[in-house]
Structure 1
């Protein structure tokens, strides 16, 4: 890297692209560690014992027959009986508490993390937050065996560490990425989260169903060690600002600074808190985060349990199929950013209309798909999977919508705004598993699960409407600190 990215104008490697790649991998790490427990939990729980206190699924077991239209058919997901009972007798409510524990910590640190990134720089904050989460991942097997309270405590601490990561990377993007490349960069970096979900679930399913290091414990060892390796590259190859990078070419630094112009963020010292919290545009983005995350956590937190305990998929198949919605999101997320920047660079649509177009799709389609799963998919595993995959794939285009807009509307405070959004939006990580656990505590049936899907659809549609009404991608009157230039106040 050093030889190809020296300080001359002839640098062959654009260091902002290195940032995008490492940001992608960093978010893949944090999301992989966030969701690996969702799949591993299926292998950790003794479902045979739990069924003695909870009515099991009313969908046919593998090898049985569905009755309809006078003909008996074998469900396509019928392969062989689930025989991966784990050591822990945790009922659905306890499982919901465990899955939601991460988010009790995760909602605490995004706002201070965003502000800290804006004042002190994001490089070390993003790196150390990710590393801390990875080191704690190595402790999960020991904590689980020690008791539920210990496992919950470790997950809360992981959430605290990971809570700073998204605001930090948003603040770093504001310093490094030219205006007409933002949607592409944000989409590519945040697609790392989708990649982390997809690979996290797939790899977790394979490891949990194997005999490697005892099966499910290996899930947490692999992700923890990989994160430690990533941290080394992040610290060596990134910087807070282009001018601080040891290997960035003078040409690249000049290009970035000239492009950003008066929108170039400063290390702002004073935050316009009252204007942020009373801004309709910020309200629209916050509501979008809340709704999109609700939809997301149905797919991330609850889908593995639904596939395993209701549709009876084996743990190794479960990991793969739970990953499919996010494999689709990887493609749609990356493409949406490219299309959004193309629309913006050619002035085919205003920035606000671009953000609303992609965010509207990301709320409407997944909401409808989840609401029709019980009636259309039912106990048909493949058809249900198609609906889940469509929901997850279209949800991916939100990366060119609500995720890109904080940098548009307030370059100096993008990290803080995203911190507010992440804190409020991720309360759904607590609510979704808890509500689903309560709904299925005594009856793990298709009907009880349908209430969770209906609720998710309603939340997605209502919050999506708020974004359409109030969100704005224009630089707000308070969006740039006084030292970074003047902007015309918005009416």
Structure 2
């Protein structure tokens, strides 16, 4: 079996790890560019600021909410196109162009706010969202080509843990930069400049596939290609994307659902728990940098613990890849489900217990990196970027709807019963999504992953039975239609 393949066939630390480290840095940078406005907007609108070197804006809460959400307006749009472009032309140039332009717009943010007010800043953030929409699909496309089956979960978790790292660092340093002589513009100058540093290293050392890398060792290249069942110097996918088969595949449908339900619960927590803590438990978590960053810190640490645990399980002969995926996904969904239910019954004098439950609920979700979040590659290495674009696009719609639903349910922020309903709904989503993934989810490569192979096999059979099937190298229209389907 593939899972029993020995790791000593390739370097312990090789070119594939450098690619994943660059992806880790990419996601760290992307999340830093995403959350920099969260801290900066406080300083940008601080009417009591003593820093005379920077401009202060008189924006009301409604305007600030629009600005903080503007990134996601563009982010949702480019998910599927980004995945399709990455699988067809390679992820390297897509990420290089997207992040470089996003970094440039970050450097221009102070100028845009000064010249065009919140309207121009809003447009700039939408553009940044459009440019970053391809990041997750492209990262999946990279992993599909670089991560051997045995290491897929570990390398994927390492890459995506960059999102927590970037968030933690940005939240930690932004306050200091805003209070320095550089003021709030310094937040955008520093994060934007880091984007160009990353772009240089990415251009020099990254490659979309092992076959395109100039300095990878023949042993490591062979190891990766054998693990993934690739043919040396094979061309990228050229067959039409089998959309109908993808959207009628039960394993993929369960993947869409579990991604959506996960994001509903996750963003309910991140956006609404501070409000709950303040109004029900009298704990202002937003004004505490330590409490605000605790969930991200725990999530980052648990990511590496789960990588270690997955490697321990992978060495056991009787533990399948399917069990591994569903085991970690259940940890990342059903433990938060129980934590949410308990959180609804925490009394007013147990504020610290609530903080612990909140931190654990968010942090333990790191286990999903070894669950559904890499399952796209299991199902279809050829179309992993497109699959991630579909599920992540749908999931981010849920991320936007979850806070709106809370606003409809919680009409009185101090009514604990209304908050309990919010927690029960999120817990129900966690349970349902993971249950469907456990029942319907699969880890074997689906038949629609290689429609050109299926066509070739069918043609070879038909050709043996009826040589007249092919005329002058042309394929019958019915066969072409089969590929398209």
Instruction: Answer with 1 or 2: which has the greater Rg.
Output: 2
Structure 1 range deviating more: 398-407 or 190-199: 190-199
Contact 1:10 1:249 in 2 (8 A): no
Structure 1 range deviating more: 244-253 or 232-241: 244-253
Contact 2:276 2:413 in 1 (8 A): no
Map 1:337-486 to 2 at 5 A.
337-376=307-346, 378=348, 381-436=351-406, 445=414, 447=416, 452-483=422-453
Map 1:143-222 to 2 at 5 A.
143-144=112-113, 146-208=116-178, 210-214=179-183, 216-222=184-190
In the alignment, which residue of structure 1 is the partner of 2:14? 14
Change (3 A) 1:372 1:468: same
- Consecutive unaligned residues of structure 2, counting only runs of 5 or more, are 1-8, 49-55, 459-485
Q: 1:311 aligns with which of 274, 283, 289?
A: 283
Higher relative contact order (CA 8 A, sep 6+): 1
Deviation of 1:247 after TM superposition, in Å, equals 1.6
Aligned equivalents of 1:96, 1:377: Cα separation in 2: 31
Aligned equivalents of 2:286, 2:144: Cα separation in 1: 44
Aligned equivalents of 1:42, 1:338: Cα separation in 2: 39
Aligned equivalents of 1:337, 1:301: Cα separation in 2: 28
Contact 1:356 1:467 in 2 (8 A): yes
In the alignment, which residue of structure 1 is the partner of 2:299? 329
1:238 aligns with 2:210: no
Change (3 A) 1:31 1:46: same
| Bigger share in helix | 2
Change (3 A) 1:11 1:89: closer
Between Structure 1 and Structure 2, how many residues are aligned? 437
Instruction: Output the TM-score relative to the length of structure 1.
Output: 0.79
Aligned equivalents of 2:11, 2:310: Cα separation in 1: 28
Deviation of 1:244 after TM superposition, in Å, equals 1.5
Change (3 A) 1:363 1:37: farther
In the alignment, which residue of structure 2 is the partner of 1:248? 216
Contact 2:99 2:131 in 1 (8 A): yes
CA deviation profile, 1:3-35 (whole Å, cap 9, x unmatched) = xxxxxx999962111111111111111122223
Q: Aligned Cα RMSD in Å?
A: 3.3
- Consecutive unaligned residues of structure 1, counting only runs of 5 or more, are 1-8, 49-85
In the alignment, which residue of structure 1 is the partner of 2:33? 33
In the alignment, which residue of structure 2 is the partner of 1:224? 192
Contact 1:291 1:463 in 2 (8 A): yes
Deviation of 1:177 after TM superposition, in Å, equals 1.7
Aligned equivalents of 1:303, 1:212: Cα separation in 2: 34
CA deviation profile, 1:378-424 (whole Å, cap 9, x unmatched) = 57653332122101221001000011111111111111111111111
Aligned equivalents of 1:182, 1:361: Cα separation in 2: 18
Structure 1 range deviating more: 217-226 or 10-19: 10-19
CA deviation profile, 1:54-110 (whole Å, cap 9, x unmatched) = xxxxxxxxxxxxxxxxxxxxxxxxxxxxxxxx854433x554433332222111111
1:121 aligns with 2:90: yes
Aligned equivalents of 1:223, 1:470: Cα separation in 2: 42
Contact 2:84 2:385 in 1 (8 A): yes
Instruction: Output the TM-score relative to the length of structure 2.
Output: 0.80
1:107 aligns with 2:76: yes
Q: 2:226 aligns with which of 258, 272, 281?
A: 258
Map 1:67-78 to 2 at 5 A.
none
